[in-house]
Structure 1
Amino acid sequence: MKDGQEYLLFLTPEQDGLFGTRGVTFGKVPLNTEELEVSEDQIESSHTHTEKLRTIFNEGRKKYGK
């Protein structure tokens, strides 16, 4: 994540009352940009996988964003 940016976080409870992101790639959606903000080592480099991820981010922004 980047300083000064807003994110939609999907969290899951962890031990000791703490929370973690639901997934490294899918658990944080940037709200101030349309960029995916993921590195190639986090997802497969295939176009189909990237488009699925873009769809998930856009749906999250539409449903839960400002």
Structure 2
Amino acid sequence: MVVAAPLHDIGKIHILDAVLNKPGKLTKEEFEIMKTHTTAGEELLIHAKEELGESGYLNTVVEMAAYHHE
């Protein structure tokens, strides 16, 4: 888990910089956009598994990316 943890927010690469780096409170719409980083990360990492093959590491990373806000 310690090795996989740095990838838990990888989906944030799909969030616009204006939302990701906004100082202060997000609007409702911006917050909805921000919440999509979990599914975006899950999709990215599932694709990595398809390209690289199954591994316990990638399985853990996919789960962490998808569910770390649950």
Bin of the TM-score, shorter chain as denominator length: 0.3 to 0.5
Larger helix percent: 2
**Which entry has the higher C-alpha Rg, 1 or 2?**
2
The alignment's TM-score, normalised by the length of structure 2, stands at 0.31
The alignment's TM-score, normalised by the length of structure 1, stands at 0.33
